[in-house]
C-alpha cells in the first residue's frame, strides 16, 4: 500500500458540514496525547502535514483515496461524554470502513479507552485497535506494552463477538506502519 496524495479537507463540528460520504473512510479515535498526529505523520511520512484538531468531534484529516477522520476525546472526562455528533457519526456514516481506536500501550488500560472500545463493540461498529508507543519498553507505571495490550484485550472481550484486529505501532521506530497500511487497504477493498 502506498500513499500517493494527501490533502486536508476540512474541520467540521456538525454532521451536515462533513465532507460528502463518497469515499471509503477511516476514523481515527483516541484521547489527547495518545499519538494521533504522530501516527498520521508516520503513515504519510511527512512532518509538515501534522494538522490536528484539539477539540473533540472535529473532522480534521483526509486522504486522497480513502478519507481519514480524526476525533479526540478529552482525557479529563471520567465517563464517556462524546457529543451526539461523534456517536451519530459512527452509527450513521455509510462510508465508514472502520474505526481505528488508538490506545497507548505504554500505560495500563485506561477507563476512557475501555469505555470507547466497549461502546463501539456493543454497537457492532467495525474497529481495529492500534496500540501506540510500543517502543516504550520501560513504561512509566511498571508494565511492558505487551502486558498492557494483553490486559486491555481481556477487559473488552465480553463486548465483542469476535476479537477485533489489532496492530502494534510506534511512530518513533516505524513499527507496524506497513501492517497498518496493508490492513487498511484490505478493509477498503473488502
Ligand atoms: P495526539 O494528541 O493524539 O495527536 O498525540 P501526539 O501525536 O501529539 O503525541 C503526543 C505525545 O506522544 C508527543 O510528545 C509524541 O512525541 C509522543 N508520541 C506519539 N507517538 C509516540 C510513539 O509511538 N512513541 C513514543 N515514544 N512517543 C510517542
The string of DSSP letters for 70-115 reads EEEE-TT-SS----HHHHHHHHH-TTEEEEEEEEETTSPPPHHHHH
Pick from 109, 118, 112: nearest CA to 145: 109
Q: How far is CA 113 from the centre of its chain?
A: 11
pLDDT, tens digit, for every residue of 72-111? 554 444 444 566 778 888 898 889 999 999 999 999 999 9
Structure-block grid coordinates of residue 39: 501516527
pLDDT, tens digit, for every residue of 103-135? 999 999 999 899 999 999 999 999 999 999 999
Per-residue model confidence (pLDDT) at position 67: 62
Domain ranges of the chain: 15-189
Please give all residues whose beta carbon lies within 6 A of any atom in ligand 1, as ranges: 30, 32-38, 52, 132-133, 135-136, 170-172
Say whether the ipTM exceeds 0.85: yes
> Which residue from 35, 60, 113 has its CB within 8 A of the most atoms of ligand 1, so it is best to mutate?
35
Q: What is the 22 CA–ligand 1 centroid distance (Å)?
A: 31
Q: What fold is seen in the domain 15-189?
A: Rossmann fold (3.40.50)
Q: What is the 35 CA–ligand 1 centroid distance (Å)?
A: 4
Amino acid at each position: 500500500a502506498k500513499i500517493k496524495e494527501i490533502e486536508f479537507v476540512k474541520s467540521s463540528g456538525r454532521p451536515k458540514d462533513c465532507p460528502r460520504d463518497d469515499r471509503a473512510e477511516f476514523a481515527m479515535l483516541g484521547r489527547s496525547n495518545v499519538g494521533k498526529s504522530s501516527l498520521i505523520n508516520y503513515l504519510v511520512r511527512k512532518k509538515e502535514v501534522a494538522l490536528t484538531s484539539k477539540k473533540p468531534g472535529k473532522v480534521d484529516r483526509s486522504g486522497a483515496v480513502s478519507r481519514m477522520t480524526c476525533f479526540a476525546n478529552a482525557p479529563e472526562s471520567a465517563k464517556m461524554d462524546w457529543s451526539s455528533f461523534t456517536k451519530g457519526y459512527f452509527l450513521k456514516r455509510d462510508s465508514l470502513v472502520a474505526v481505528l481506536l488508538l490506545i497507548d500501550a505504554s500505560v495500563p488500560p485506561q477507563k476512557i479507552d475501555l469505555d470507547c472500545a466497549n461502546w463501539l463493540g456493543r454497537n457492532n461498529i467495525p474497529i481495529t485497535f492500534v496500540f501506540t508507543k510500543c517502543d516504550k519498553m520501560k513504561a512509566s507505571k511498571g508494565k511492558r506494552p505487551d502486558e498492557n495490550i494483553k490486559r486491555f484485550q481481556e477487559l473488552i472481550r465480553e463486548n465483542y463477538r469476535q476479537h477485533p484486529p489489532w496492530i502494534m505501532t510506534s511512530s518513533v521506530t516505524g513499527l507496524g506502519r506497513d501492517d497498518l497500511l496493508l490492513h487498511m487497504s484490505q478493509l477498503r477493498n473488502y
